[in-house]
């Protein structure tokens, strides 16, 4: 299966992606992880992404596009994959569609996780990653509201969007996602 996972920072994308990929036995493609790895390795992409990530802004679409194209072309993605945190803008959604059409591999499901802002702030404050500084978090949430949330409508129009309540324990949330997953596989 090919799935995209959409949600604000702290919604539990990474947490649920791990469970989903274990269940489906497909690779977990997190653009956030790929960008952090590029920064750690000091690659050109990493250098270009760093100032954006440190200030809570989305990195330019072109940088992420190439990462995704290269990763999806790898052999382990032949049986499907889970995209965690991609697409995040309308341009990324269009790019993904083009790539899927070229490869003749349609998307099965877009899952959007909803969590109220006050809970997101609590969760992120407890995590302590470099970009979990209070001001940076506010910027990341703003970017989600302005760019990513409206993008979800793109999938609604196509009938692939499933909206999930992200409150409760990670197991509660996963149980809700599983219901949608089973519906899509039926």
How far apart CA 7 and CA 115 sit, in angstroms, is: 8
- Is 46 or 85 the residue whose CB approaches ligand B4P more closely? 85
Residue closer to ligand B4P, measured from CB, 15 or 160: 15
Min dist. Cβ of residue 162 to ligand B4P (A)? 17
Classify residue 97 by burial, with Cβ atoms within 10 Å: 0-12, 13-18, 19+. Answer: middle
* Catalytic annotation, residues: 13, 88, 127, 129, 140
**DSSP one-letter code for 109:** E
According to DSSP, residue 85 is labeled S
Q: Which lies closer to ligand B4P via its Cβ, residue 32 or residue 46?
A: 32
CB of 145 to ligand B4P, least distance (A): 13
Residues at the interface with ligand B4P (CB under 6 A): 9-15, 30-32, 35, 52-53, 56, 58-59, 64, 85-86, 88, 92, 123, 127, 140, 169-170, 173
CA distance 52 to 58: 6
Provide the minimum distance between the beta carbon of 48 and ligand B4P in the complex, in angstroms, as a whole number: 11
Shortest Å, Cβ 104 to ligand B4P: 23
Q: Which residue is nearest to ligand B4P, using beta carbons?
A: 32
Least Å distance, CB 186 to ligand B4P, is 26
- Rg of the chain, C-alpha, whole Å: 16
CA distance 106 to 100: 6
Q: Is 51 helix (H, G, I), strand (E, B) or coil?
A: helix
Q: Kindly tell me which of 123 and 162 has the beta carbon lying closer to ligand B4P.
A: 123
Complex with ligand B4P: residue 43 or 185, whichever CB lies closer: 43
Query: CB–CB of 147/61 below 8 Å?
Result: no
Tokens 């802004």 belong to: 57
Residue 78 has phi, psi (to 5 degrees) of: -60, -35
């Amino acid at each position: 299966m090919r799935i995209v996972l959409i949600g604000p920072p702290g919604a539990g994308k990474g947490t649920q992606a791990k469970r989903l990929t274990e269940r489906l036995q497909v690779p977990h493609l997190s653009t956030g992880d790929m960008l952090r790895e590029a920064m750690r390795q000091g690659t050109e992409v990493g250098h270009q992404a760093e100032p954006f990530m440190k200030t809570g802004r989305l990195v330019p679409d072109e940088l992420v596009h190439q990462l995704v194209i290269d990763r999806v072309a790898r052999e382990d993605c032949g049986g499907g994959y889970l995209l965690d945190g991609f697409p995040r803008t309308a341009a990324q959604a269009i790019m993904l569609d083009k790539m899927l059409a070229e490869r003749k591999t349609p998307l099965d499901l877009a899952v959007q996780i909803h969590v109220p802002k006050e809970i997101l702030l609590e969760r992120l404050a407890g995590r302590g990653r470099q970009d979990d500084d209070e001001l940076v978090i506010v910027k990341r949430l703003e970017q989600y509201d302005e760019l990513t949330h409206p993008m979800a409508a793109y999938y609604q129009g196509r009938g692939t969007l499933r909206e999930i309540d992200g409150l409760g324990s990670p197991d509660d949330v996963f149980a809700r996602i599983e219901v949608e997953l089973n519906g899509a596989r039926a």
